[in-house]
Amino acid sequence: MTDCDLIDMGYCGSPYTWSDYQTKERLDRSLWTEELQNLFPCSRITHLHSSTSDHSPLLVAVSDAPVRQSGRRKALFSFEQYWATHQECEEVIQRGWQTAAEGDPMSKVCQRIKQTGKDLFKWQKSTFKFRQVEMRAIRARLDDLMKTPFVASDLAEKQALQAKFQELLTQEETLWIQDLGLCG
């Protein structure tokens, strides 16, 4: 590091990036030069939570100006692929499709599609609304566990939290893949 004039970028989040059954350490780092630091002064490194690895991933956000939040736009309804993994999804679709409809056959189809979409939207809101809250809670607890020195009794809890977090991340990944139009 010294020979190449590299500087540790620091970090946000847990002070540790690696753990095993007996210890925790900060092994993973991002480095840059003073020139890059001057070009991108608002850059930051965040230690994310690992799910199955013993190393925490690092999120490197490179920026020369503070990041501003953009306004929200109204989301259009779309069927989310991970809903299909839930046992109630098919029932919700069947109920929506059995809605009484009037008019010519095409009008009936349109009315039933619209009703099924409303039913799915209402169902997903009540069924999955706590996923993000749960993910934040798990991340916070994992962060607490990583900030403290190694305690053998915390290992089982950490493994259970990582497994649940991985399950939630898999749901998120399915959502992102669908949103990006990568599934076929």
For the chain, give every domain's residue range: 7-65+131-179, 81-128
Residue-level pLDDT at 184: 46
φ and ψ of 7, to 5 deg:
-120, 135
Please tell me the distance from the alpha carbon of residue 79 to that of residue 157, in angstroms, as a whole number: 34
Instruction: Count the neighbouring beta carbons within 10 Å of the beta carbon of residue 122.
Output: 12
Show the tokens assigned to 11: 């970090």
| Burial (0-12, 13-18, 19+ Cβ within 10 Å), 44 | middle
Residue-level pLDDT at 136: 84
* Tens place of pLDDT per residue across the chain (184 aa): 888 888 888 888 778 888 877 788 888 888 888 888 888 888 888 888 776 777 888 888 888 777 565 555 556 677 777 788 788 899 999 999 998 999 999 999 989 998 998 899 888 877 777 777 888 888 888 888 888 777 888 888 888 898 888 888 887 777 666 655 554 4
Residue-level pLDDT at 135: 84
Residue-level pLDDT at 68: 61
Is-above-0.85 flag for pTM? no
Pairing of strands 18-19, 24-25: antiparallel
Task: List, in sequence order, every residue forming a beta bridge with 22; answer none if it has no partner.
Answer: none
